[in-house]
Structure 1
Amino acid sequence: MQKINGTIATPKGFAADGNHCGLKYKNHDIAWLYSMTPAQAAGVFTTNQVKAASVTYTKEILLAGKLQAVVVNSGNANACTGDEGLKNTKAMAEVTAKKLQIAPDLVAVASTGIIGKPLPMEKVTAGIESLQKQGIADNFAKAILTTDTFTKNVVYQTEIDGHCITMAACGKGSGMIHPNMATMLGFITCDANISSLTLQQLLSELTEVTFNQITVDGDTSTNDMVLLLANGAAGGHEIKTKTLAYQKLKELLKTVMEDLAKMIAKDGEGATKLIEVTTSGACDDLIARMISKSVVGSPLVKTAIFGKDPNWGRILCAIGYSGSPVNPEEVTITLGDQIVYANGLPTVFDMQKMTAALAEDVIKIFVTLQQGNGQGKAWGCDLTYDYVKINALYHT
């Protein structure tokens, strides 16, 4: 497996474009992703009971297991907009389908931005009409952003059964990242030959250990969506479960999803640091993941990391309320490469080295239990003054 430079359109048979249509004051805000042939498709979506029109619509058309295009707008969530919102979502799909000369039920729709405002369809329609089938793929990554500070692209290649398989991912996410099913807007393309059913099984399983393990602020958005498209353009036989080819593709997908998850966690609104929490020695993997996410989601842990404060008490507290049975005297906490708590007592550590470690861009916390072989990771970011500023002024 090799990481390469590229975009969401790097896998064979894909194209993408983005442009500005006026939903945002400036910067790109309308985009599409296109497969030259209908692709096998899978998706995971927000578990918030309040769902945007794009989520309702895309979940429905995805039941058929095929997509050929995805149209995305930023700057307007098209959520809590009633029947008009759903009508506008369908119109986005229809305009896209007509421009690309494909069936409307092969077009997924995703939206992100401010809740409760109707889409200005004249701008949206003109924006879609301005997109090119063979466009500038980098503009897709730009157009889906809201409060993000950088574009997020991941591309890997590997060989499966003698064929070079390329997989790419592009996402946006900065705040409202605390999912129970999906997170953010995420799009994954692949040129492997695989069924939609197998894709769905893979995406659902790997979401649990990647996208579901990041948290920024404890909010679950109305618009969260991750779509995975595989068009088979690389050639080869269909990849089936319980084969070596399947295992290689699963490893490829997990790597892509984990990389994208970490990029999103790192770009939390106002964030200055990525926090990675690894728990080992738990009764099982699920408990380990729950503990890791409890720690990385703690506002007190987040603020301590921002302040470069090795406050292990906050970490231990988050372990204690994670919902998992733990014995504090059997917990070891390591911050960076120094043990700060073990056997029910604080330890003596080198404060000068600790201060230097907490000034790094990536802060690693290790929680070790004595219960079993369960392991799990979670990712998040620090909580800063800028997070409050960004969200206090978001609507304006």
Structure 2
Amino acid sequence: MAVGELVLPEFNPVAGLRIGTASAGIKKPGRKDLVVFELAAGSTTAGIFTLNAFCAAPVQLCKEHLQQGSPRYLVINTGNANAGTGVAGLDNARKTCQVLADLAGVKSTEVLPFSTGVIGEPLPMDRLLAALPQALEQLTNNGWADAASGIMTTDTKPKGATASCEINGQHVVISGIAKGAGMIKPNMATMLGFIATDATIDSVLLKELLKQAADVSFNRITIDGDTSTNDSCMLVATGQSAKISVEDTAALQSFTACLQQVMQHLALSIVRDGEGATKFVTVQVEQAATTAEALEAAFTVAHSPLVKTALYASDANWGRILAAVGRAPGLESLDVSSVTVYLDDVLLVEQGGRAASYTEDAGSAVMQQTEITLRILLGRGKATETVWTCDFSHDYVTINADYRT
């Protein structure tokens, strides 16, 4: 069960983009598991991908096709990651693109493939290819909700966000969906994200905007510290509305804020739906010497199994937090007497030890909440960074132990 409400919005349709969802029965008969995005001619597309060396065949091919022109179609399957599948996996990804291209009347290099699901199993190509015509038949500008469900794996809820802004007298919309619940670590995570806008943005700026927005959203979350093989996040600009450029500072700022709003909402939805999660946790590190230092400390705490299991148990075991901070990379010269730790508004630690005002009752009361903030003040500078995570529960183990069955 997701931590907090995860309800799909009434999506703003994006002019120049249509989405179709079909059932290929890739892992489970009858479920929607194949999604196709159709992009208007002239659209620009940017992507960021997993840093895992064993990146999946669709990730490899997607990068290759992005270098060769302007994509017209995206094709996504769930239930099978097509990762760890060698040359055969690449051949299957290429065939998927070629068949869709033939059906749609475009070049195969104008199709970008994406897969998510079980690693190491060959794609059931007969079922996947047979469902492509159905996905094309279902293309509609109101297909966001079905697509959000169609890309899920261990997610318990579909995830979506939408926003709009006025730019130079024109109404600009941004809508997006994402999937992910486990094997989540920044740069990227076991997630797929698809965001689209009707704005007009050149490819160079689009890529920069995507990177900036990812760095304050998808690259600030962690469920379990594992980086997957298939992570991809795409941003499409269909060119049907206002132009965004570096020269128009006001327009750029408005659009950037709107984009970051959408992507951060999607990222936080992934944390709220973390596998087995019962608590949504904000880890904020303040008074760090640098941004990098703040992030290292925040992620070390957020990744710690001991911290995460204490959170699940509602155990205000502040010693685990101190231990995690103390081993964070780059903090070897940390003056522990300068460190202060808060659990929401409850002062846990000061001057290197338990705060005189702290009581177990106060700490336990906060730990019973489903949403908790850990504030860690290092006393070393002015940099502040925030990451979001969740607890570790018995259900996390059960979900991942049973994933292939």
Settle same-fold status: TM greater than 0.5. Answer: yes
Matched, 1:307 2:313: yes
User: CA 1:185/1:312 → structure 2, altered by over 3 Å: closer, same or farther?
Assistant: same
- How many residues are paired up? 391
Distance 1:231 1:182 in 2: 26
1:201 corresponds in structure 2 to 208
Provide Cα deviations, 1:95-119, integer angstroms capped at 9, x if missing partner. 2233333332222110001111111
C-alpha contact (below 8 Å) 1:186/1:225 kept by paired residues: yes
2:15 corresponds in structure 1 to 12
Partner amino acid, structure 2, of 1:68: R
Deviation of residue 70 (structure 1)?
A: 1.0
Provide Cα deviations, 1:149-202, integer angstroms capped at 9, x if missing partner. 100001111112221111112111111111334651111111111111111112
Matched, 1:90 2:98: no
Provide Cα deviations, 1:205-251, integer angstroms capped at 9, x if missing partner. 332332122111121111111111111212x3342257221122222
% identical aligned pairs: 37
Deviation of residue 350 (structure 1)?
A: 4.8
1:227 corresponds in structure 2 to 234
Partner amino acid, structure 2, of 1:367: I
1:265 corresponds in structure 2 to 271
Runs of at least 5 residues in structure 1 that lack an aligned partner in the other structure: none
Distance 2:403 2:247 in 1: 45
What secondary structure sits across from 1:67 in the alignment? coil
1:240 corresponds in structure 2 to 246
1:338 corresponds in structure 2 to 346
2:336 corresponds in structure 1 to 328
C-alpha contact (below 8 Å) 2:189/2:228 kept by paired residues: no
User: CA 1:144/1:241 → structure 2, altered by over 3 Å: closer, same or farther?
Assistant: farther
Matched, 1:74 2:78: yes
1:32 corresponds in structure 2 to 36
C-alpha contact (below 8 Å) 2:92/2:123 kept by paired residues: yes
Distance 1:273 1:65 in 2: 43
2:372 corresponds in structure 1 to 363
Deviation of residue 138 (structure 1)?
A: 1.5
Matched, 1:58 2:62: yes
C-alpha contact (below 8 Å) 1:65/1:196 kept by paired residues: no
* Alignment match of 2:181 (pick from 163, 168, 174): 174
* Alignment match of 1:253 (pick from 253, 259, 264): 259
1:149 corresponds in structure 2 to 156
Distance 1:38 1:94 in 2: 21
Distance 2:399 2:288 in 1: 37
Distance 1:295 1:22 in 2: 40
What secondary structure sits across from 2:283 in the alignment? strand
Partner amino acid, structure 2, of 1:371: R
What secondary structure sits across from 2:43 in the alignment? strand
TM-score normalised according to structure 1 size = 0.94
Runs of at least 5 residues in structure 2 that lack an aligned partner in the other structure: 1-7
* Alignment match of 1:111 (pick from 108, 112, 115): 115
* Paired residues for 1:261-300 under 5 Å: 261-300=267-306
1:218 corresponds in structure 2 to 225
* Alignment match of 2:387 (pick from 378, 381, 396): 378
Name the stretch that deviates more: 53-62 or 258-267. 258-267
C-alpha contact (below 8 Å) 1:178/1:216 kept by paired residues: yes
Deviation of residue 11 (structure 1)?
A: 2.2
Deviation of residue 343 (structure 1)?
A: 1.6
Provide Cα deviations, 1:39-86, integer angstroms capped at 9, x if missing partner. 211111111110111000001111246322211000001112122211
Distance 1:147 1:172 in 2: 9
Distance 1:391 1:265 in 2: 16
Distance 1:276 1:376 in 2: 11
User: CA 1:362/1:100 → structure 2, altered by over 3 Å: closer, same or farther?
Assistant: farther
Distance 2:349 2:233 in 1: 38
What secondary structure sits across from 1:329 in the alignment? helix
The RMSD of aligned alpha carbons is 1.9
Name the stretch that deviates more: 304-313 or 101-110. 101-110
Deviation of residue 309 (structure 1)?
A: 0.9
Matched, 1:349 2:358: yes
Partner amino acid, structure 2, of 1:385: H
Partner amino acid, structure 1, of 2:52: N
C-alpha contact (below 8 Å) 1:44/1:182 kept by paired residues: no
